[in-house]
Amino acid sequence: MGEGMRASVLFVCLGNICRSPLAEGAFRAEAARLGLDVTVDSAGTGGWHAGDPPDPRSVAVARRNGVDISGQRARKVAKDDFRTFTHIYALDHDNLEGLRAVAPRDATAEIGLLLDLVRGDEGRAVADPYYGDDAGFDVTWRDVTMAAKALAKRLASEGWK
């Protein structure tokens, strides 16, 4: 599918301060480990946190797992993203529906639910830890890390660089 092409992946949640920055960080780490040359970013379907860094609890859980996401800044999904990225993954059903609703007719990106990449977790959303305690961020990290490993393995097996 991607034979010789460079993959580019966008992870999307609601505000782009908790789940999608964690997915971005986990995937960057796994792609680097496998030697994939891939463009990676994250965004939100809502723009009210635009320019903000990730939630401190997201930064902390990523750091505990050897990944630095502190330099990321929230942004809202843009129409061009649907042509710029080869793959766009929503972290839950509402955001998947939102992405499909705003995708332009000439969108070229593959759009899907992130945990559909993980055998046994298909159809399941990555839980939003924002209103919970720190333990919820550990669960989110576990989920996005499993998906990041599955995605990197898939891209490598499909011939993406």
The CATH number covering residue 132 comes to 3.40.50.2300
Q: Which residue, 23, 12, 14, 17, is CA-closest to 140?
A: 23
Report the SS3 class of residue 24.
Answer: helix
**Is 19 a residue of the active site?**
yes
Q: What average pLDDT does this structure show over 125-152?
A: 97
> Is 1 a member of any domain?
no
Q: How far from each other are the two terminal CA atoms of the chain, in whole angstroms?
A: 11
How far is the C-alpha of 103 from the C-alpha of 65, rounded, in Å?
34
57 inside domain: yes
Q: Is 76 exposed, middle or buried (0-12, 13-18, 19+ CB in 10 A)?
A: middle
Q: Which of 130, 83, 139, 142 is nearest to 110 (CA)?
A: 83
**Domain annotation covers residue 36:** yes
Token pair 């301060």 in the structure block, residue: 17
Q: Give me the number of domains the chain comprises.
A: 1
Quick check: is 159 in a domain? no
Residue 2 placed within a domain: no
**88, two tokens:** 């766009």
**Is residue 31, in this structure, part of any structural domain at all?**
yes
From 41, 55, 92, 128, active-site residue:
128
Catalytic residue selected from 18, 19, 28, 55: 19
Q: Which of 13, 41, 81, 143 is catalytic?
A: 13
Of the pLDDT bands very low, low, confident and very high (cuts 50, 70, 90), residue 2 is low
* Residue 83 domain-assigned (yes or no): yes
Look up 13 and say whether it is catalytic.
yes
* Owning domain of residue 23: 8-154
- Residue 29 pLDDT: 98
Q: What is the layout of strands, in order, in the sheet containing 39-44?
A: 39-44, 8-13, 87-90, 110-113
Catalytic-residue membership of 128:
yes
For residues 2-29, average pLDDT: 92
Tell me the torsion sign for CA atoms 59, 40, 111, 47: positive
pTM: 0.96
pLDDT score, position 4: 57
Count CA atoms closer than 13 A to 11's CA, side-chain side.
29
Does 160 map to a domain? no
